[in-house]
Structure 1
């Protein structure tokens, strides 16, 4: 879920913290990518038709592999150096949110069964997407694929967004790429939305700068975290009736959640019983992340050509010719990216990025992804 309404709040109250860049402008940049978010998008759209999905000969879904393979090649061809970060064990405070998601999937499954029985194609499409869940097998498949491609993988001890932010704060990557805005709440210095969108959507990359966010909102980092908790996050309920704009006004007026609670009208607002906002705050301020330099020694290496052909062609039914051509693209891209960014050799020029308008860019629901992908000859699975 991320942070409710944060993009619009920033567009309206700290527009200088957001800018639109061309995809190609990240040439030479190391980018930490939230892997689970990307896999979820691929499972929803790649090769999907109604409730049917791409599968290999064994009937195993391959949409995530196809999406990860083609989208990563696109990043590499643009001269970027992606590192994919995978979720570990979720914090206990997220259990309530996970239960809500499980309940929603169960409801969607019931709706899907009724839609199939009624042969309602529109509802079949809608409910089938709502039943999607990223499994351990999906994650393991993508980790294997990325390592064979020579792209580094980081397995976070807990939340991927927190680990991405830690990599960025440590200077190991330029920015974090995800669609969940809570990467900013974890303190990521730079955050990118829409980087993983397909080229067919023609949506510019939206870059956020945490220092400019704090300056624009006139808040400290601690106050920004409190603002996000009040707006609505994954770790605890928010106070009903308090959205982002009201939360911002209250934080500016009172400075912290504690002082807000002391002055909040109990008749007008119902504060959740045993509200664990302090624990949520602590999770954002000091999340469980890996700081082991050896473990986080990010290396981009040449692709394992034989391994890729075995895994993709022999085991998962991808087209041999297309995989072979893709491998050549990977090798050419990695040679290209080794040139580095021009600014490492010359003085930086003016940033060609376009300031964001005071209007929220539509969220990425991945509906525009290419459904006619070319990496796999997989079958459809109902």
Structure 2
């Protein structure tokens, strides 16, 4: 779930903290990616028709491998340096939320059975997606694939979003890419949505800047964390009747959850029994993360060509020609990304990630667009 309604809250109250960027504007950037969120998207979207999914000859699902392979190559070809972060064991405080998700999947499974009986294609499509779960095997498959591609993998001791945010705060990566907004609550300095969307959607990347979020909302980081807990997070229930807008008003007025509880109308708002907001706050402020360089091992290397062919073609039934061509793309991208960003040589006078000024030269833009179209024309083949 992340933080309930946070995107809209920021759009309404801190619009300067959000900006749309072109996918290509992240050339040379190191990006920490929430792996489980990406795998979940691949399982729902890639090669899926109703309840049917991509499989190998043994009947094992390969949608996650297809999605991870092609989408990562797209990042590499754009000159990015992705690092995928995988979840570890969830904190105890998240067990309630996980139990709710399990219950929702069980309900969706029942609804799917009914939809199949009535042959309602629309409901079959809808409910089949709600039954999707990222398994340990899906994660292990993708870890193996990424390592063979020469892309670093980090196994978080707990929450992947927290580990991503830690990499970002320490300057090891430029930004965190996910769809869950709690990366900001964990303190990621830059946060990206839609980076992993397919190019066919043509959706710009939405970048959030935590410093501007706090400035526009006129809150400290501690107050922002309290705002997120009040709005609704994965670690505890929220107070019924208090959404994001009311939570922001109360935080600005009282400064903290403790002060809000002292002044809250208990007849109007019912506070959950044994509400563990303090534990939730601690999880956001002091999450369990890895910080040692040797454990992180953020190194991008050449692909293991023989290993990729064996894993994708021999073991999972991928087309040998497409895999061979994809490996060549990875090798070419490796050379491209080693060029680095321009601001690594010159001190920038403005924010280099804002591509707005390029609109002033439509002719050069058109040429650039044509080049990109030719370069990426084969990406839709799977």
- Native 8 Å contact 1:19 1:353 kept in 2: no
Distance 2:344 2:103 in 1: 51
Distance 1:76 1:118 in 2: 45
- Native 8 Å contact 1:32 1:175 kept in 2: yes
Distance 1:347 1:256 in 2: 40
- Greater alpha carbon shift after TM alignment, 185-194 vs 291-300: 291-300
1:374 and 2:381 matched: yes
Residue 354 of structure 1, CA deviation: 5.1
Distance 1:349 1:116 in 2: 60
Aligned to 2:168: 168
Residue 346 of structure 1, CA deviation: 2.5
- Native 8 Å contact 1:230 1:238 kept in 2: yes
Name the SS for the 2:41 alignment partner: helix
User: What whole-Å deviation, never above 9, does each CA across 1:136-176 have from its counterpart, x for those lacking one?
Assistant: 00000000000000000000000000000000111110000
Residue 120 of structure 1, CA deviation: 1.0
Aligned to 1:327: 327
Distance 1:353 1:234 in 2: 35
Aligned to 2:3: 3
- Native 8 Å contact 1:20 1:354 kept in 2: no
Distance 2:20 2:45 in 1: 25
Number of paired residues? 359
- Greater alpha carbon shift after TM alignment, 158-167 vs 292-301: 292-301
User: What whole-Å deviation, never above 9, does each CA across 1:203-250 have from its counterpart, x for those lacking one?
Assistant: 111111111111110000000000000000000000000000100000
Aligned to 1:119: 119
Aligned to 2:231: 231
- Native 8 Å contact 1:47 1:373 kept in 2: no
Aligned to 1:65: 65
Bigger RCO of structures 1 and 2 (CA < 8 A, at least 6 apart): 1
Name the SS for the 2:32 alignment partner: strand
Residue 349 of structure 1, CA deviation: 5.6
Name the SS for the 1:55 alignment partner: coil
Distance 1:26 1:45 in 2: 24
Could you state the TM-score of these two structures normalised by the residue count of structure 2?
A: 0.92
Residue 292 of structure 1, CA deviation: 1.6
Aligned to 1:39: 39
User: What whole-Å deviation, never above 9, does each CA across 1:99-137 have from its counterpart, x for those lacking one?
Assistant: 000000000000111111111111110000000000000
Would you identify which runs of 4 or more consecutive aligned residues in structure 1 move more than 4 Å? none
Aligned to 2:80: 80
User: What whole-Å deviation, never above 9, does each CA across 1:25-78 have from its counterpart, x for those lacking one?
Assistant: 000000000000000000001000000001001100000000000000000000
- Native 8 Å contact 1:46 1:373 kept in 2: no
Name the SS for the 1:33 alignment partner: strand
Distance 2:156 2:57 in 1: 32
Aligned to 1:366: none
Residue 263 of structure 1, CA deviation: 0.3
Residue 347 of structure 1, CA deviation: 3.5
Distance 1:349 1:110 in 2: 58
Distance 1:152 1:57 in 2: 29
Residue 289 of structure 1, CA deviation: 0.5
Residue 192 of structure 1, CA deviation: 0.4
Distance 1:174 1:251 in 2: 30
Q: Which has the higher helix share?
A: 2
Distance 1:137 1:297 in 2: 23
1:207-222 equivalent positions in 2, closer than 5 A: 207-222=207-222
Distance 1:263 1:100 in 2: 31
Distance 1:31 1:107 in 2: 36
Distance 1:74 1:101 in 2: 31
- Greater alpha carbon shift after TM alignment, 341-350 vs 307-316: 341-350
Aligned to 1:265: 265
User: What whole-Å deviation, never above 9, does each CA across 1:168-213 have from its counterpart, x for those lacking one?
Assistant: 1111100000000000000001100010011111111111111111
Q: Give the RMSD, CA atoms, in angstroms.
A: 1.2
Residue 311 of structure 1, CA deviation: 0.3
Distance 1:210 1:238 in 2: 23
Could you state the TM-score of these two structures normalised by the residue count of structure 1?
A: 0.92
CA separation of 1:3 and 1:139: change in aligned 2, threshold 3 A = same
Residue 254 of structure 1, CA deviation: 0.3
User: What whole-Å deviation, never above 9, does each CA across 1:251-300 have from its counterpart, x for those lacking one?
Assistant: 00000000000000011000000100000000000001111221113000
